[in-house]
Structure 1
Amino acid sequence: MSILLFACCIAVLLCLVMAVAWAVAERTGNSGWVDTIWSFAVGGAGGLAALVPLDGAPGFLPRQFLVAGLVAVWSLRLGLHILARTRAGHDDPRYAHLRREWGDAAPRNLFLFLQIQAVAALVLALALLAAARNPLPYFHLGDVLGLGLALVAISGEAVADRQLARFRADPANAGRVCDVGLWGLSRHPNYFFEWLGWMAYPLIGLDLGGAYGWGWAAFAAPALIYWLLVHASGIPPTESHMLRSRGDAFRAYQRRVNAFWPWRRRGGDEEKRR
């Protein structure tokens, strides 16, 4: 199969999957299904991108299985986490706010929005394809660094999610802002580790000797994820919701803790005690 044909097939498949996500969200009234399905869709598309035979390519490389395995672990961890929240009745406040803003046009606008997510998933899948096809002898330093970085990122995101869930489960924390553990170092540690995990694939795909130029295409994944999380569908709508629901408490949190990069600001402890 040619890369072009594969990209077209994956694009159609992802558009269909996100159309199903739209239908499920509309039928259930719970937008949590959107990110659940998207997470599994990216994992499936990424695994196919890593493993599908391509015209002119040699036999299977161990690196292809490494990339497929890492994206599968990421997808299952994140997808099952969001699935558990969704089945418990948690509706994503970002989508709920968009629905209120869109009014009667909400069903149409949500459908178009999810098709844009399908395009984003396609970019991620093609970046994984580029990383997995690096022809350098396996195991090279980039593979080791990429594997280690991916495992740290998946573990860090899981810890952040668990700390937030534990904080919310305590009735004494009702109406408070979570600033414990990793949440005291970054307002969005789950987003930071999400981005960090996608940085693993350029490490795996790069050939600094210049023989495999397509390895640079793997940077499309962390670049896209950073833009989505920091400037588009991640931090901006999440913080808008938190400002509406937590008010001055969240404003104080914003002043003492960085939004994305984990680092406690100087004087943060003093302000917290005031």
Structure 2
Amino acid sequence: MNGTDWGAFAEGLATCAATAGAVMLATFAVALRRGLHRIVDIAWGIAFGAVAAVTWLLSAGHGDDGRRLLVAAATIAWGLRLAAHIARRSRGHDEDPRYTALLDKAPGNRARYALRTVYLGQAALVWLISLPVQAASYSSAPLGPLAWCGIAVWATGLAFEAVGDHQLARFKADPAHRGRIMDRGLWSWTRHPNYFGDSLVWWGIYLLACTAWQPALAVMVSPVLMTLLLTVGSGKRLLEKHMAHRPGYAAYAERTSGFLPLPPKPAPVEPPRTK
């Protein structure tokens, strides 16, 4: 009979939590040695990939092999691409202003505060957001139309991320664009194609776990939480606060959708000058 092995799923939760915690603790040790906490952003994608790999191993014999392999591969591919992109983007840069501002508010020891609020907090988020990966891996239901729909959503999200990141990197690499706002390609349809893509990736992975109404309800927190983090949490909101002072950004924000890709509004036409 098709279903989810909830007993094995529950047993794997602690191991997955330990895996996410181990990645973040190792990252914390490296960050202290280098005096640079921005490397935790690289570890974010790696931690998801590690949890997916461990889940794939633990779920052997408990779930459909095709679904197990598909959800593990989708999560690892997304996590490693994101980690590699952030590593390239941050090479040679100083501390991220977000972490400087956060740690300046530390009530006591900065290292302990960083461990508690940044590293362990992110480990908990990785574990929680990864719930669909775990639920899908322990389902014996064979792959069906909804699963392939999930892969299509995942692939669309990954394409938005990868293409958006590539377009922005090429734009920034041109010295003629120094100080200008990127408003071309996908960035003319949404101010955050990478964040929108991230959200789609996790809604796609969530669909892979929707083999029945019970797992669908149990793990819906994952894509909802990821979308909220990207829109009103540490993603879009903080980045736009940082960008607000840039010349031309207000006009760009006025004509470009904040999250969902939409056709850009036409630029306002200036009235003719009178002599």
TM-score bracket, normalised by the shorter chain, equals 0.7 to 0.9
1:32-63 CA-to-partner distances (Å, cap 9, x unmatched) read 31111121011110232244137xx6465211
CA distance in 2, matches of 1:12, 1:58: 21
Alpha-carbon offset, residue 191 of structure 1:
0.2
Inter-partner Cα distance in structure 1 for 2:251 and 2:226: 27
Please name the residue that 1:166 is paired with.
170
Residue in 2 aligned with 1:118? 123
Task: Tell me the TM-score normalised to structure 2 length.
Answer: 0.85
Contact 2:63 2:138 in 1 (8 A): no
Amino acid at match of 1:131: A
In structure 2, how many angstroms separate the alpha carbons of the residues matched to 1:124 and 1:273? 51
Mapping of residues 261-272 of structure 1, within 5 Å: 261-267=260-266, 269-270=267-268
Larger relative helix fraction: 1
- Partner SS for 1:67: helix
Which of 147-156 and 103-112 deviates more? 103-112
Residue 186 of structure 2 is matched in structure 1 by: 182
1:31 is aligned, of 37, 51, 57, to 37
Distance in 1 (alpha carbons) for counterparts of 2:17 and 2:166? 33
Task: Between 103-112 and 234-243, report the one with greater CA deviation.
Answer: 103-112
Contact 2:147–2:208 under 8 Å retained in 1: yes
- Gapped runs of 5+ residues in structure 1? none
Q: Please name the residue that 1:15 is paired with.
A: 21
1:13-162 paired onto structure 2 within 5 Å: 13-53=19-59, 58=62, 60-89=64-93, 91-102=95-106, 106-113=110-117, 114-138=119-143, 140-162=144-166
Q: Is the 8 A contact 1:142 1:205 kept in 2?
A: no
Q: Distance in 1 between matches of 2:110 and 2:250?
A: 30
- TM-score when scaled to structure 1? 0.86
Contact 1:243 1:251 in 2 (8 A): yes
Aligned residue in 2 for 1:249? 248
* Structure 2 match to 1:238: 239
Count of residues in Structure 1 that have an aligned counterpart in Structure 2: 265
Q: Which residue of 2 aligns with 1:3?
A: 9
**Partner AA of 1:161 in structure 2:** D
The answer on 1:229 being equivalent to 2:235 is: no
1:198 and 2:198 matched: no
Percent identical among aligned pairs is 32
Deviation at 1:265, TM superposition (A): 4.8
The RMSD of aligned alpha carbons is 2.6
Structure 2 residue runs without a partner (length 5+): 1-6
User: Deviation at 1:234?
Assistant: 0.6
Distance change in 2, residues 1:18/1:253 (3 Å): same
Could you say if the C-alpha distance between residues 125 and 41 of structure 1 is closer, same or farther in structure 2, counting changes exceeding 3 Å?
A: same
Once the two structures are superposed, what CA deviation does each residue of 1:129-148 show, in whole Å capped at 9, x if it has no partner?
A: 1123333233x101211122
